[in-house]
Structure 1
């Protein structure tokens, strides 16, 4: 039995860091294990300009612990009125790594998002021309669509037409949750379609939200799905396909915001993300494929060099912390709080 695993320093291709005190509290957990991360731009106000992205990146760098080596990769929040020239300038200056498309109203702070693809066609044409990736929160916002069907509906009604209309556009379907999404990405042979997968969608199905009562700390968007979808995601993640890579979607909210009458969506997995992912690969007998998923596939899709340095995880049982304190006296409930994991980051 393998007792330890060393791999090149991995990257997180989907991360929420927030701002201010929360940023300073959560960033060390990511910087401890990941070399780079795509930082989500859904702040209030959102990161929609080159200047805003540069300023946010500087705040992230200033919040790093002394000696930490971590590179934030910034995304542009796509709005109906985003100028194509702003996107082009941000990409050419190395400020924007990608553009993030939130359907308006789909998730946390998405109210400034896209209402119709026709309104952002100029931006997508520009991105296709310059080779800039589009990151998509792939859910229908039609109120008539069942919450558990929103990803599958989006794929049929929005994503497939988008891929046909922009045949050279690089697309990452983020935090996929369904068998339909896994199959679509697996079947693509163009090399321009990829997907990130979170630890929670690999480890749990929708029963987790309702076991013994309402479990708000398992509530995220897109929501957890049926068991057949979870199993499809595990097959995809451990398949060795270069189209799938690590993206935690780690999203911190303090406990009062989660444990409320209208609780926030998001799971804070940053403190134990690698350990959770590796648990899945171990259970699937795919330890030999973990380095590609965590450290290689994303870099290659984005056209970035692999990271120098390594991280090591050891087979060691340990208990996840019950809470992560915030400077204002509040706390964040981490993913798998109080549970035991069999792998530990050295």
Structure 2
């Protein structure tokens, strides 16, 4: 039940999404407007096929994203480079200096969707990471080990112990974003480190625990990587997100797949949360009695970590009664194919109102 003190609306600086998948082709055209309508900027993941490992490929992809933004909507994609065993320090540094990409993404090989070309050994890319530390370029980490003998629910905590802790010790000045954290272990790790280690938190990991995948049968539209964990971990994430700690900020990890690919015999990992992510995040902050900290998490902490200005525009979200709430669309169409969004058919208690622009 809503507390009587809950305001009817909340106005904040326009948020950014610090982790999103926009895909390409028809899928790109279908999903970009949903991110652009909520967020001013977004860190775009480079795990296309083939992966984006060169300045030319990333710049071309950025152009395709910009072309998909609806007219009249202000949105800037912030690009990333895909780290491989073969990528060179000079290529990474040149792309950063030319402002083609703002960060580099570390995928352990075969950890998640389109990560087959990822890094097989941290030691092998140490010269790249050392150069990144020298130039202040952030490293974005998918934090899971890929050893099939490690339980899937333990792969994040194992990554902390065997990879991330050692990396932080070896390169203490490297800026690291531990992306889409899912465990209390990850929260504790970030809190135990200085301001150069941060984490993004998704809306879906704040809303569901691992039971969601198995309620009444296998629920493929709740399957993502990293997978949702036990309730104790969900609660730790909610505490971190709403704490006001600037090392935690918004990153949806919105990752669309066609419904047929999610519902197949070997379904794809990823949840398409972009259409309603902002309202879903705000619902969590309301439930936790932390509405006064939402702007920090959504709009301020991320720019501060990346050294970027906060957005000039503001956005207002209004609270709606149960009877007036708009339901999340049951599906999004990408040409003649369908994408099922997270919270499909559900009514969320907040919705975005037309943003108001502040004077420059």
TM-score, normalization: structure 1? 0.99
Pairwise mapping of residues 25-104 of structure 1 onto structure 2 (< 5 A)? Answer: 25-104=30-109
Please state if 1:3 is matched with 2:8: yes
Alignment match, 1:320: 328
The C-alpha deviation readout for 1:133-157, integer Å capped at 9, x for no partner, is 0000000101110000000000000
Q: Following TM superposition, by how much is the alpha carbon of 1:319 offset from its aligned partner in structure 2, in angstroms?
A: 1.2
Equivalent of residue 23 in structure 1, options 16, 20, 28: 28
In 2: Cα distance, 1:142 partner to 1:81 partner:
22
Please state if 1:295 is matched with 2:299: yes
Alignment match, 1:184: 189
Alignment match, 2:128: 123
Alignment match, 1:250: 254
Q: Following TM superposition, by how much is the alpha carbon of 1:340 offset from its aligned partner in structure 2, in angstroms?
A: 1.4
The C-alpha deviation readout for 1:108-165, integer Å capped at 9, x for no partner, is 0000000001110010000000000000000010111000000000000000000001
Equivalent of residue 265 in structure 1, options 266, 269, 274: 269
SS at match of 2:226: coil
Alignment match, 1:215: 219
The C-alpha deviation readout for 1:86-128, integer Å capped at 9, x for no partner, is 0000000011100000000100000000000111001000000
Please state if 1:13 is matched with 2:21: no
SS at match of 1:145: coil
Deviating above 3 A after TM superposition, structure 1's stretches of 4 or more consecutive aligned residues are none
For these two proteins, the number of residue pairs brought into alignment is 344
C-alpha RMSD over aligned residues? 0.6
Pairwise mapping of residues 322-337 of structure 1 onto structure 2 (< 5 A)? Answer: 322-327=330-335, 329-337=336-344
Please state if 1:160 is matched with 2:165: yes
SS at match of 2:145: coil
In 1: Cα distance, 2:187 partner to 2:123 partner:
26
Contact 1:268 1:335 in 2 (8 A): yes
In 2: Cα distance, 1:181 partner to 1:306 partner:
26
Please state if 1:285 is matched with 2:292: no
Equivalent of residue 342 in structure 1, options 339, 349, 355: 349
Contact 1:16 1:39 in 2 (8 A): yes
Contact 1:10 1:35 in 2 (8 A): yes
In 1: Cα distance, 2:7 partner to 2:156 partner:
37
Q: Following TM superposition, by how much is the alpha carbon of 1:62 offset from its aligned partner in structure 2, in angstroms?
A: 1.1
Equivalent of residue 179 in structure 2, options 158, 174, 179: 174
SS at match of 1:29: helix
Contact 1:208 1:215 in 2 (8 A): yes
In 1: Cα distance, 2:333 partner to 2:27 partner:
10
Q: Following TM superposition, by how much is the alpha carbon of 1:64 offset from its aligned partner in structure 2, in angstroms?
A: 1.2
Q: Following TM superposition, by how much is the alpha carbon of 1:339 offset from its aligned partner in structure 2, in angstroms?
A: 1.0
Equivalent of residue 107 in structure 1, options 97, 108, 112: 112
In 2: Cα distance, 1:238 partner to 1:107 partner:
28
Q: Which runs of 5+ in 2 are unaligned?
A: 1-5, 354-360
SS at match of 1:99: strand
